[in-house]
Amino acid sequence: MAGSPGAEGESTGQVAVVTGGANGLGEFIARRLHADGYRVAVADVDAAAAAALAGELDATAATARGYGVDVRDRAALEGLLSGLCADFGEVHVLVNNAARTQAKSLLEITREELDEVMAVNLTGTFQACQLFGAYFAKQGYGRIVNLASLAGQNGGTATGGHYASSKGAILSATKVFARELAPHGVTVNAVSPGPQDSPAVRAIIGEENLADYVRGIPVGRLGDPAFIASTVALLASPAAASVTGACWDANGGLHLR
């Protein structure tokens, strides 16, 4: 198949889609994959922001395109896959990064808030793994990288107990899809970041609390989103054929296992 791994496992020319790719960590990932030679689809519920980033990466739309998609909607994900195949001819990598975060006291989370966070984080990831996983399996090659979180490993609730629960579920989903798709040349892995040096994390912690918070991290610093993007790129590469069902931690020593 065109664009499949070469003799040396190069990724040049492969097509990667990043959900929630228009800003935040997703933007770092999209930029890194594009810099590594992937043709990148920036998929985001904010279609204008996705198009803006794609246009910045490549104004000709030859190597980057933006797509508006709500990952909660299975039909929208099906349309995304069809659109990618029509525009690029094929797809090789799926990065499930789209997420909903809400900082709220655990016992005050409403049913509606729980459903909303789960719909984006878990259902969106699960459905995308199903649809793209089936496509990859038919093609005989694919890479899926899911964005988990330290909160899903240690029960942290700074970003909301429903968020932590959804990310823990993503870790389990990563394993079941990895087992199912392994015989078909498809790997499925997760990256689990701890607190990153980002506007979102700073807003949740509060600038006035940041110094005390950082002192509680064993390595004494917030994480670097660019490193998370590099980790995703490594797991997305053709060379990562022997890694599947894994969760790669990057939490500054806050969770050891």
Structure tokens at 99: 């997420």
Least confident of 129-138, 154-163, 186-195, 231-240: 154-163
Q: 163 versus 201: which is more confidently predicted? A: 163
Q: What are phi and psi of 114, to 5 degrees?
A: -60, -45
Residue 238 CA to residue 219 CA, distance in Å, equals: 31
Instruction: Examine residue 174 and state whether it is found in any structural domain, yes or no.
Output: yes
Does the model's pTM come out above 0.85? yes
Instruction: Examine residue 257 and state whether it is found in any structural domain, yes or no.
Output: no
Instruction: Examine residue 6 and state whether it is found in any structural domain, yes or no.
Output: no
Overall size of the chain counted in residues: 257
- Look at residue 3 in the predicted model and tell me its pLDDT: 45
**How many domains does the chain divide into?**
1
Instruction: Examine residue 256 and state whether it is found in any structural domain, yes or no.
Output: no
Domain that holds residue 241: 15-249
Residue 60 CA to residue 40 CA, distance in Å, equals: 13
Average pLDDT, the chain: 94
- The residues carrying an active-site annotation are 163
- What is the CATH classification number for the domain harbouring 44? 3.40.50.720
Amino acid at the residue 135: Y
Residue 164 CA to residue 156 CA, distance in Å, equals: 6
Instruction: Examine residue 5 and state whether it is found in any structural domain, yes or no.
Output: no
- Look at residue 80 in the predicted model and tell me its pLDDT: 98
Instruction: Examine residue 207 and state whether it is found in any structural domain, yes or no.
Output: yes
